[in-house]
Amino acid sequence: MRTARARRPLTSLLTALAAACLAVTAAPAAQAAPTGAEAAGKYIALGDSYAVAPGTRTYDDPNDACRRGPLSYPRLWAAQHTSYSFVEASCSGATAAEVKSRQVPQLTADATLVTVQAGGNDVGFVSVLQNCILTLDDKDCVAGVDAAKAAATGVLPGTLADTYTAIKGAAPGARVVVVGYPRLYKIGGSCGILGLSDTERSALNSAADVLNTVLAQQAANAGFTFLDPRPAFDPHTICSGNTTWVTSLEWDKLNESYHPNQAGHRDGYLPALNAITG
């Protein structure tokens, strides 16, 4: 048993987390010029909250549940490659199954590049985080992480395979990049004993590792490219002592907690995507 941390009332926190992190909508896609014959290619972004703006604190419309904004890595890539037309189908809260049902229909046969980042919501990662934040005992956090990892290895592969097959069918000529998730914490780093314990931090990191392993394998099975963000992000995780690229827990901004911040999108994901696409 470790020292208890100050905690918000359980009911209000769960309500806020559910409303902020699990909202899923089918908002219209954002599209940028050029289009048609003027475009050298067409880029379509699919995914969940990691592919949009939570953590950047800059939104097109703060009231839009999809939480899109100009500082996400898909938007930044599109801004750098102005000869491409761009469709943003990603939406905060999306599962891989919802990417298939709500976002894949926005793909077109003339797409030349597709990014897809989904899977974290399928294994209940938001619930895992909330459990680790609220529980007083490390073993409860670890048990929740273990359940998420079991879902990642047991159920998620089939869901991803179905989603990736649908992507391939809708955009058969596109290069598809499956985007992974960063680890959150530096173990034994500069955070000391405040907040989560190193046992909990290690468990959360292990969940990211298992999720990435599943994503990489299913990407390979589909003939897609896997973008692993961990090498770039690891020196910039929470407790690293360096400039952080992911947001930590903020009680007044629960829907932005544990997401890539502006630097994470700009200096982490964007260069990694450019290294693949050129």
Options 72, 236, 257, 259, the catalytic residue: 259
Asked if 101 and 26 count as a contact pair (C-beta separation under 8 A), the reply is no
Question: Hey, what amino acid is at 189?
Answer: G
Q: Is 81 a catalytic residue?
A: no
DSSP string covering 195-233, please?
SS-HHHHHHHHHHHHHHHHHHHHHHHHHTPEEE--HHHH
Q: Supply the DSSP symbol for 144.
A: H
Distance, in Å, from the CA atom of 269 to the CA atom of 154, rounded to the nearest integer, reads 28
**Active-site residue, from 49, 127, 197, 202:** 49
Sign of CA dihedral 143, 186, 17, 116: negative
Instruction: Specify whether 265 is catalytic.
Output: no
CB atoms within 10 A of CB 146: 15
State the CB neighbour count (10 A cutoff) for residue 171.
Answer: 22
Q: Are strands 113-117 and 175-179 parallel, antiparallel or unpaired?
A: parallel
Catalytic residue list: 49, 259
